[in-house]
Amino acid sequence: MTTPLLNLDKVSKLYKRGGLLGREEFRAVEEVTFHIDDNDQQVFTIIGESGSGKTTLARMILNMVRPTTGTIFFKGQDLASIRSGRARLKFMSEVQPIFQNPFEAFNPLKRVDRYLYMTAKSFTGARSSAELEAAADQALNKVGLSIGEVRGRFPHELSGGQLQRVAIARALIPGPSLIVADEPVSMVDASLRMSIVNLFRTLRDELKVSIIYITHDLATAYYISDRIIIMRKGEVVESGPARIVLENPQHEYSRLLKSAVLSPDPHGHGVLTGDSAASQQARASPHLQVSSSEPQVS
């Protein structure tokens, strides 16, 4: 058995809140275990609502946050052992992020192509400005853009969809084996969304990159995922192959999620009121307090 690309072993993250008196513990992530194989490129989706811990999990995989307990192995190496600048750089050449808000992911006061050149300089052998531009152009072509479209532009001059594609291009420059995308299309307009989601397919099939796709949108998850885990309040409640889990969810929470997804067929408005009663009942059951992790008054 070859070393898996990514291996999480009982990973937990605990946050302590409060001062000296009355410290509260907040379990953001609770004993998450899964792995992604190396020779099997896939889109691995993490589905969860707000407060489910999915973003914390993403940050731990990106080595931006240290787990409280448990270990994360990337290609066999424990992330906690990455200390030196060089080791960090090596890790980043293999694992790259895509963030939710493309307008926040770039400094609004700086030009966008700058990040492409920086990444090329740090991770490839390119040195002269011509080489840097070529590297940037090559990456941009993979996402359906060209250097001419983004040269000298500020973030607000591009649309959300274009910016997100530039972010993906930037992430591709070091030639990573894993891309962690945290809600990459939730802030992109509907008409541009599918071009990015389709891009993930291309990344997986042609560029052989595995993608961890984090989202709350079951429809796009169904569209491109290979495997899925569903998280709720820090725990994994269900996992398995994407089509199977989404077509026939087993766990109560998964079923609730699926029933809450709106269908784009406008059969009429009775659909909503009927389900409202069902999910109100479901809310009354103590197991299924599924709203955000803030305390509820009710």
Partner 1 sequence: MTQSSASSVRDSSHVLETHDLRAYYRMKYFGIDREVRAVDGISMHVRKNEIYGIAGESSCGKTTFIKAIAAAIRPPLEIVAGHVNYSFIKNDLYALPAAERSAIRWRHLSYILQGSMNVLNPVRRIHKTFQDFAFRHMRLGRPEFDQAVKHHLERLRLPAEILRAYPHELSGGMRQRVCIALATLCKPEFIIADEPTTALDVVVQKDVLAMIRETQSEFGSSMIFVTHDLTVHANVTDRLGIMYAGKLVEEGRTVDVFANPMHPYTAHLIASLPKIGDTQPRSALSGSPPNLADPPKGCRFHPRCPVAMEICRHENPALTTLADDHRVACFAASTKVQPSNDGMQGEAKTLEVAR
Partner 2 sequence: MIAVFRDLFRYNGEFAIGFMIMAIILSIAAASFFSPYEPIDSYLVAMDAPPSAEYVFGTNSRGQDIFWQLTFALRNTLAFGFIVAFISRILSLVIGLVSGYVGGAVDRVLMSINDTFIVIPLFPLLVLLYFVLRDDMTWFVLALVMAGLGWAYDARLIRSVMISLRTREFTNTSVFSGMSMPKIVTQEHLPYVLPIVFSTFMNNMNWSIGLEVTLAVLGFTDVDTPTIGGMIFWANQHSAMVSGIWWWYFFPTLFVTLTFIGLFLLSISMNEYIDPRSRLDRMGNS
Q: Which does 156 bind (CB under 5 to 8 A by kind): partner 1, partner 2, none?
A: partner 2
Phi, psi of 36 (to 5 degrees): -120, 125
Shortest separation between residue 265's beta carbon and partner 1, angstroms: 7
How far, in Å, CA of 132 to CA of 57, rounded?
Answer: 33
Contacted by 295, from partner 2, partner 1, none: CB < 5 to 8 Å by type = partner 1
> Residue 158 or 230: which CB sits closer to partner 2?
158
The Cα 101–Cα 230 span in angstroms is: 22
Least distance between partner 1 and beta carbon 187 (Å) = 9
Q: Give CA–CA dist 117/96, Å, rounded.
A: 16
Among candidates 161, 173, 162, 157, which has minimal Cα distance to 117? 173
Looking at the Cβ atoms of 157 and 205, the one nearer to partner 2 is 157
Which strands make up the sheet holding 210-215, listed edge to edge?
A: 95-98, 178-182, 210-215, 43-48, 227-232, 235-241
Instruction: Single out the residue of 112, 120, 217 nearest to residue 167, CA to CA.
Output: 112
Q: Which is nearer to partner 1, 125 or 266 (CB)?
A: 266
**Amino acid letter for position 26:** F
Q: Is the CB of 138 or the CB of 195 nearer to partner 1?
A: 195
Question: Measured from the CB of residue 93, what is the shortest distance to partner 2 in angstroms?
Answer: 8
In the complex with partner 1, which residue's Cβ is closer, 138 or 279?
Answer: 279
Q: What distances in angstroms separate CA 278 from CA 166, 252, 263, 272, 273, one per listed residue? A: 43, 13, 17, 10, 9
Which positions touch partner 1 (CB under 8 A)?
A: 49-50, 158-162, 189-195, 197-198, 201, 216-220, 222-223, 243, 246-247, 256-258, 260-266, 269, 271-273, 275-276, 279-280, 290-292, 294-298
Indicate which of partner 1, partner 2, none lies near residue 244 (CB less than 5 to 8 Å, by partner kind): none
Residues engaged in binding partner 2 (CB under 8 A): 62, 64, 85, 89, 92, 96-97, 99, 101, 104-110, 115, 118-119, 121-123, 154, 156-157, 167, 170-171
Burial of 135 (0-12, 13-18, 19+ CB in 10 A): buried
